[in-house]
């Protein structure tokens, strides 16, 4: 019996010792985990997710029944196969992006693993998110084309200014017959060219654009059996000592001719940005723009020689009004696009600008042989009257259209253009009722608006 007790006591001591050994980490217990980072990069080019520690990490074992499949990384984190080796050797980058890095982030067609300035290749590794199919259509070449050029044909017209009456039926002044807007301009053809260069794998681009229209011309004339006379007061005006009414009143014919010229030059810095993974994209731009609008308006008369001094053969006189607006300033804008199909997209391109408008005005009164009019109401002031003024003008342009990527590197566009400029000097607004009022003529009216609108069709080539 005593031996049995001793045996049981020994077994108890052995069992207690084994339990204590396990609890104290001396037998069969888990060891301290290694929280160190291995110096080799992780599977996606970054560092391992574990913190530093004194020993190596022992990965935990999970029963296959309870193991969860590892989800694939999102598209933006998938490594480019061509750059996997370089990524494995690259040092770790900071995980807190700087503002400059965010601004220089690549757009959808850029190589997100490449260095800024490197020419990316147009493979699947260059595209991210749901826009890959759409972006490939824009390039679809063995490289992401850094240069692009486009040319377009324009057909545009302009709005009418506030008119000035010039002609009535002789001896019946209420019978107004003609005003300056009767010399309305027709729709005219024009052209536009653009050359641009993309940088930083397409994140930025610089482009220059020039467009113009053929001169917008208008003409009107008026005759009447009773003769035509002018509503303008020209009695204090003289040609070689004879009142100008001898030419402008009881005349055989009155004529109005209009001639407009338009030129546009701009250089823009474009930030190419795509938002989200859907078919929408948005770019913004800032740049310098020069816009020139020049207008000439001539009111002329063919006098009845019976009303002129005996022997007079100079029967034509004219009042000529020329004004030019040179706008130079800064513009802002953006380009919103919706990819309707992989090779079709709608676009909306508004831009807004503030400009210094340098206006030059020249008013002449003379006969066709060069004889210049004189007046006595304002001593020391003569014709022609020349003046200039600098004012602030605003201009807005809107392009709406459809783009079709029909071949590798090629696309076609068609759409509608609207341009509105305020603070413009128009020729119709410079004609005073009293032609002798030279101070009034010299004070340029600049509260006019210019509206141009029409259609365009063009081609763009990426290379």
Fold of domain 146-462: Lipocalin (2.40.128)
pLDDT of residue 275: 55
- Both ends of the chain: CA-CA distance in Å? 103
For Cα atoms 79, 84, 86, give the angle at the middle one, nearest 5 degrees: 125
CA distance 431 to 427: 7
- List C-alpha distances in Å: 116 to 106, 165, 314: 8, 63, 73
**pTM score:** 0.72
Tally of CB atoms within 10 A around 339: 22
Please give the structure tokens belonging to residue 12: 């108890």
Report domain extents, the chain: 146-462
Whole-number Å distance between alpha carbons of 438 and 446:
17
| pLDDT reported for residue 279 | 84
Per the structure block, which two tokens stand in for 43? 């599977």
Q: Specify which residues 407 forms β-bridges with.
A: 410
- Please give the pLDDT value at position 277: 56
Distance separating alpha carbons of residues 145 and 96, to the nearest angstrom: 31
Q: Which helix (H) or strand (E) holds 23?
A: helix 2-23
What is the predicted pLDDT for the residue at 313?
76
d(CA 395, CA 326): 12
Per-10-residue mean pLDDT, the chain, length 463: 50 47 44 43 37 45 48 52 46 47 43 38 36 43 72 97 95 95 96 94 90 97 96 94 95 97 97 70 94 98 87 88 98 93 93 98 95 93 96 98 92 98 97 95 96 98 91
Bond prior to 204 in cis (omega within 30° of 0): no
């Amino acid at each position: 019996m005593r031996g049995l007790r001793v045996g049981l006591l020994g077994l108890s001591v052995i069992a207690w010792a084994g339990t204590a050994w396990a609890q104290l980490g001396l037998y069969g217990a888990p060891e301290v985990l290694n929280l160190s980072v291995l110096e080799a990069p992780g599977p996606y080019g970054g560092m391992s997710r574990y913190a530093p520690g004194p020993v190596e990490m022992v990965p935990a074992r999970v029963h296959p029944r309870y193991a969860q499949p590892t989800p694939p990384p999102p598209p933006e984190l998938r490594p480019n196969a061509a750059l996997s080796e370089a990524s494995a050797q690259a040092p770790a980058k900071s995980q807190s992006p700087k503002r400059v890095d965010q601004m220089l982030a690549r757009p959808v067609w850029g190589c997100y693993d490449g260095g800024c300035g490197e020419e990316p290749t147009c493979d699947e590794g260059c595209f991210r998110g749901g826009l890959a199919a759409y972006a490939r259509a824009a390039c679809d070449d063995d490289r992401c084309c850094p240069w692009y050029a486009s040319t377009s044909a324009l057909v545009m017209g302009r709005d009418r200014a506030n008119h000035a009456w010039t002609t009535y039926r002789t001896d019946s002044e209420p019978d107004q017959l003609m005003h300056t807007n009767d010399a309305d301009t027709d729709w005219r053809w024009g052209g536009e060219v653009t050359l641009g260069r993309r940088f930083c794998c397409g994140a930025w681009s610089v482009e220059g654009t020039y467009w113009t229209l053929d001169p917008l011309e208008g003409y009107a004339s008026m005759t009447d059996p009773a003769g035509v006379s002018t509503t303008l007061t020209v009695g204090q005006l003289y040609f070689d000592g004879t009142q100008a009414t001898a030419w402008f009143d009881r005349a055989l014919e009155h004529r109005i001719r209009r001639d407009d010229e338009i030129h546009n030059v701009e250089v823009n810095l474009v930030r190419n940005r795509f938002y989200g993974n859907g078919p929408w994209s948005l770019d913004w731009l800032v740049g310098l723009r020069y816009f020139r609008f020049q207008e000439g308006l001539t009111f002329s008369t063919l006098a009845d020689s019976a009303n002129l001094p005996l022997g007079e053969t100079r029967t034509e006189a004219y009042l000529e009004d020329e004004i030019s607006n040179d706008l130079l300033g800064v513009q802002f804008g953006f380009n919103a696009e919706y990819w309707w199909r992989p090779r079709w997209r709608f676009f909306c391109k508004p831009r807004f600008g503030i400009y210094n408008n340098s206006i030059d005005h020249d008013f002449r009164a003379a006969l066709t042989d060069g004889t210049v009019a004189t007046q006595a109401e304002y001593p020391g002031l003569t014709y022609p009257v020349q003046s200039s003024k600098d004012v602030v003008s605003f201009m807005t342009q809107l392009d709406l259209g459809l783009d079709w990527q029909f071949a590798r590197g090629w696309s076609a566009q068609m759409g509608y253009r609207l341009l509105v400029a305020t603070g413009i000097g128009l020729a119709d607004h410079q004609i005073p009722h009293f032609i002798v009022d030279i101070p009034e003529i010299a004070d340029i009216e600049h509260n006019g608006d210019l509206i141009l609108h029409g259609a365009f069709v063009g081609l763009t080539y990426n290379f």
